[in-house]
Amino acid sequence: MNSPCERDPLAASISAVTPELENLFSFLRFPSVSTDSRHAGDVRLCAEWLIAKLAAMGLRTELHETPKHPVVIARNEHLAGRRTVLIYGHYDVQPVDPLALWSSDPFQPEIREGKIWARGATDNKGQMMAHVLGVEKTLRENGKLPVNLIFLFEGEEEIGSPSLPAFLLEHRDALRCDVIAISDTGMVAPGVPTLGYGLRGIACCEVILRGPKGDLHSGLFGGAVANPAAAVARLVSSLHGLDGRVMVDGFYDAVRPLEAWEREMWAKVPGVSDEDFLQVTGSPGLFGEPGYTSAERTWARPTAEVNGIGSGYQGEGSKTVLPAEAFAKLSFRLVPDQSPQVVMEQVKRHLERHCPPGVDIEVQVGHDGKPYVADPHSKFGLAAQAALRRSFGAEPVLIREGGSIPIVQTFRDTLGVDTLLLGLALSDAQIHAPNENFPVANFEAGIRLNQALLAELAR
Ligand code: BES
Ligand code: ZN
C-alpha cells in the first residue's frame, strides 16, 4: 500500500482549508485499524507521523514499542512547582466495514455540511488532534505552556488497551501527574459543553456451540440431532427477561444505585430525552430495563448486548442445511462497583447452565475493563467546568457515559489520579459505524477548550 502522502489526491483542494484542518486530514489518512493485523504497518506509520508532528512543536518525544502497537509520549520541559497534566488519546481506529455504506472513502477525509467525514474523525483522531493543536497554538502564542504536560497516545484502545496497563506500571514514575484529561467521550448536543464523570466498564466473550461433525442435510437429520443455530438463539434469549432485565444470576449484586441528585440533574440535560434517543437511533421503539430513562439505562445501569451472531446459510434463497456450528459475540457493560472478572464468571456459569441439550459449548473470554466514576465537583472537576464554560460560552452539563475507556480506571489504580472527560463526540457522529463525522465547529472548539483547560488547571 502506498503511504498516505503518496496517495493524496486531495492535497491541492485542501490547501483551501486551515492549517489545523490540514493537520487533522493528514492524521485521518492513516488507516490505523488496530484490530486488523494487515494494518499493523499503517498503525506504526501513524505513530511515526505523530512523533514528527509533536517533535516539530518543540516537545520531547518518545516512541515506545509494545507487544502490539507503539505508545507515543511527548512532554514539554517540566518545571518544579507547576501542575503536571497528562493528556491521553488514541490514534487507532475501528474497522470501516461495511465499506459500501460510506458516502466517501473513510480514509480520504472530506468536508461536507460543515462536518469532517472519515473513520476516526470523532473517535478519536479529531478530538485528540484538537488537544495537540491547542497546545501548539498556546506554544506559538506564549512560547510556553502553563503546566508540565505529558501527552500519552496509544494505538490499542479499540482492542481494549492490552499493552497499556503494563506500560503504565513500568513507567509509573515518568508518568506521575496531578490529573488526566481526555477528549474521547460524548457531548450531549451541539454547543452544549459536556463534562463526563463516569464510564461504563465492559466484559466481552464469544460463545461457540458445536453440534454434528459437519453440516448436515436438514431433511435427513433435522429432528434427530440438535441444531446449533436454534440452540444459540435459545441461549442468547436466556440472557434477558421479557422486561429487559439481565437474567444472569448475581449480575446486579454489586451495582451502585443511581443517586437522587444525578437523576434530577440528568432529567434537565438537553439532547438525551427518550424522544432524542428515538430520533438519533432511528429505532421504531425504545426497550430496556424498566424504571429508568434511556440516559439512565445507558449511563448508569449495566446491560448485556449481542454484538454478533452467526450460523448456517447466509446466501440468496434457501438451503436446507443443519449447520454444524453457531456462535454469538457478547459484551456486558458494567457500572460501579461491578467487577469484570466476577461478571464473566457469572456469565460463563449462566451460559453453561442454559445451554440446550445436544451441543457442546465453548466460552472464549475476551477483553474487559473496569467501570469508572469520579466527583465532578472536585477541584479539578471545577477547573474543567470553568474551561468548558469559558470556551463554549455556556453552562456545562455533567453526565456519565455509556461507552467505555477501560484505561481510565487503570490510570486511577496505577497513577492514583482522576480523569476529566471533556467530550466532543455528538450522538450522530456515527463512531464505529459508516459515515463517521465530526463538525468543524467541534474541532475548533476543542482547540480553544484545550487552551482554556491548561490555563484553568494551572491555577
Ligand atoms: N471513545 C470511545 C468510547 C466512548 C465514546 C465513550 C462515546 C463515551 C462516549 C472509545 O474509543 C471506545 O469505543 N471504546 C470501546 C472500548 C472497548 C473496545 C474496550 C467501547 O466503548 O466499545
Ligand atoms: Zn471507539
Q: How far is CA 306 from CA 285, 401, 403, in A?
A: 18, 20, 15
Query: For residue 9, is pLDDT > 60?
Result: no
Atom of ligand 1 at shortest distance to CA of 368? 19
Cell of 390: 469559558
- DSSP-assigned beta bridge partners for residue 210: 325, 360
Average the pLDDT over 357-379 and give the result: 97
Query: For residue 277, is pLDDT > 80?
Result: yes
Ion ligand 2 neighbours (CB, 5 A) are 123
Using pLDDT thresholds of 50, 70 and 90, give the confidence band for residue 17.
confident
C-alpha span between 133 and 386 (Å, rounded): 20
Indicate the angle between helix axes 340-354 and 228-237, nearest 10 degrees.
130
Cell of 131: 488537544
C-alpha span between 238 and 355 (Å, rounded): 9
Query: For residue 318, is pLDDT > 80?
Result: yes
Q: What is residue 193's predicted lDDT score, i.e. its pLDDT?
A: 98
Residue 211 CA, ligand 2 centroid: distance in Å: 35
Query: For residue 16, is pLDDT > 70?
Result: no
Q: Which amino acid is at 130?
A: A
**pLDDT 10s digits, 291-302:** 999 999 999 999
Cell of 326: 453457531
Omega of the bond leading into 442 within 30 degrees of 0 (cis): no
Residue 391 CA, ligand 1 centroid: distance in Å: 25
C-alpha span between 162 and 92 (Å, rounded): 13
DSSP secondary structure letters along 364-405: EEEEEE--EE--TTSHHHHHHHHHHHHHHTSPPEEE--SS--
C-alpha span between 193 and 385 (Å, rounded): 8
Q: What is residue 241's predicted lDDT score, i.e. its pLDDT?
A: 98
Average the pLDDT over 388-416 and give the result: 97
**pLDDT 10s digits, 49-71:** 999 999 999 999 999 999 999 99
Cβ proximity of 427 and 186 under 8 Å: yes
Pocket lining for ligand 1, CB < 6 angstroms:
123-124, 157-158, 160, 184-186, 202, 367, 369, 401, 403-406, 425, 431
Q: Which residue has the higher pLDDT, 46 or 16?
A: 46
Residue 372 CA, ligand 1 centroid: distance in Å: 13
**Cell 459500501 sits at which residue?**
100
What pTM, to 2 d.p., does this model score? 0.93
| Probe residue for ligand 1, chosen from 158, 195, 333 as the CB with the greatest number of ligand atoms within 8 Å | 158
Cβ proximity of 306 and 457 under 8 Å: no
Q: What is residue 11's predicted lDDT score, i.e. its pLDDT?
A: 43
Mean of the per-residue pLDDT values of the chain: 96
Cβ proximity of 65 and 189 under 8 Å: no
Query: For residue 15, is pLDDT > 60?
Result: no
Query: For residue 6, is pLDDT > 60?
Result: no
Average the pLDDT over 423-447 and give the result: 97
Omega of the bond leading into 437 within 30 degrees of 0 (cis): no
The 3-state secondary structure of 104-139, one letter per residue? CCCCCCEEECCEEECCCCCCCHHHHHHHHHHHHHHH
Query: For residue 7, is pLDDT > 60?
Result: no
Residue nearest to atom 19 of ligand 1 (CA): 160
Cell of 140: 506559538
Beta strands in 177-244 (DSSP E): 179-182, 194-196, 198-199, 201-210, 216-217
Query: For residue 5, is pLDDT > 50?
Result: no
Omega of the bond leading into 337 within 30 degrees of 0 (cis): yes
Q: What is residue 221's predicted lDDT score, i.e. its pLDDT?
A: 98
Residue nearest to atom 20 of ligand 1 (CA): 404
**pLDDT 10s digits, 177-224:** 999 999 999 999 999 999 999 999 999 999 999 999 999 999 999 999
Residue 123 CA, ligand 1 centroid: distance in Å: 8
**pLDDT 10s digits, 29-46:** 999 999 999 999 999 999
Start-end of H helices in 76-204? 125-142, 164-170
Domains and CATH numbers, the chain: 19-199+371-458 (3.40.630.10), 201-255+302-369 (3.30.70.360)
Q: How far is CA 192 from CA 277, 297, 351, in A?
A: 17, 21, 42
Query: For residue 261, is pLDDT > 80?
Result: yes
Residue 211 CA, ligand 1 centroid: distance in Å: 35
Average the pLDDT over 156-160 and give the result: 94
Ligand nearest to the CA of 403: 1
